[in-house]
Amino acid sequence: MARLGDDEVAEVLALVEAATEADGVRPLNEHVMLHLRYGLDPGARAVLARNDDGLAGFAHLDPTDAVEGPSGELVVHPAARGRGVGAKLLAAVLAESGGRLRLWAHGDTPAASRLAQAAGFVRARSLWQMRRSLYAPLPAADLPEGVRLRTFEAGDEAEWVALNARAFASHPEQGSWTLDDLKRREQEPWFDHSGFFLALRGDRMVGFHWTKIHGSGEEHGHDPIGEVYVVGVDPSQQGTGLGKALTLAGLAHLRSRGLSQAMLYVDEENTAAIRLYEGLGFTRWDTDVMYRYSMSQ
């Protein structure tokens, strides 16, 4: 089905809560959760699995990336596990995808690996979650000469979307964000312009650090924690130290909000970013894994 009704959305959100409580990790990423709340993604599909006790599982299919292929995520209620529900959901999503699918698993768990491998998927990408204590010392955020910081304001949206596209031109998800993607997040209860930093050289936007504060109130299964949500630098400014300065400015902001920890996500293959974050005191905490299936593989 392309669109869920309000009652079905409530059922899925309750299932997500139950799975997060049982596993200690969110089973669906932010993009899918936004789709559930707002239902704005064209072409997306939802698959529901039911048993006598109610909703046993949910799967989401996003076919919008014509280059990389459709992506999917699924979650099974803890009380319904071990009964083949996950395999049935995966088969249904794979059929909907036309035989080409990228499947995300949050947390590098043996159960997810077994399910994916049994269906013929291969491990294709890993996304690290890294964390650091905000009680540890933070170096000063020394900006490059001629660059100043200010926070995001209404009216910055179009220029930010253009900068984000330049900064993440080779990124499979982030670089494709649209104005609607940004505005959708501005509607979220966690959005706070005071934690969204913009770097300007003259009047031109050349970098940004968008921080986020989330916690147990948003199905995360943990106490409030700060997040280095997105750091982006215009290609013309790379190598100037702007990325490091922006990261430190955001971390200082998160610490000023009384938070004890900060987290971020980074691709395992992005060794330059990992070195930067390790140099700032971050260490690997967990891993999300993408599995890939293609009838031609």
**Looking at residue 66, what is its pLDDT?**
73
Angle formed at CA 71 by CA 68 and CA 77, multiple of 5 degrees? 165
Residue 143 DSSP code:
P
Please say if the pLDDT value at position 182 is more than 60. Answer: yes
Angle formed at CA 145 by CA 234 and CA 155, multiple of 5 degrees? 50
Fold of domain 6-127+290-294: Aminopeptidase (3.40.630)
Domains 6-127+290-294 and 136-259 share a fold: yes
The three-class DSSP label of residue 153 is coil
Q: Which pLDDT band holds residue 133 (cuts at 50, 70, 90)? A: very high
Q: Give the C-alpha separation, 150 to 141, whole Å.
A: 14
pLDDT in tens, 80-119: 999 999 999 999 999 999 889 999 999 888 999 999 999 9
Q: Give the C-alpha separation, 33 to 184, whole Å.
A: 12
136, 281 contact by CB (below 8 A): yes
Q: Give the C-alpha separation, 154 to 142, whole Å.
A: 27
pTM of the model: 0.86
CATH of domain 136-259: 3.40.630.30
HEC readout, 196-223: EEEEEECCEEEEEEEEEEECHHHCCCCC
Residues 6+ apart with CB under 8 A from 234: 163, 166, 167, 205, 206, 207
For the chain, give every domain's residue range: 6-127+290-294, 136-259
> Can you tell me the mean pLDDT for 248-268?
96
246, 207 contact by CB (below 8 A): yes
Residue 175 DSSP code:
G
167, 233 contact by CB (below 8 A): yes
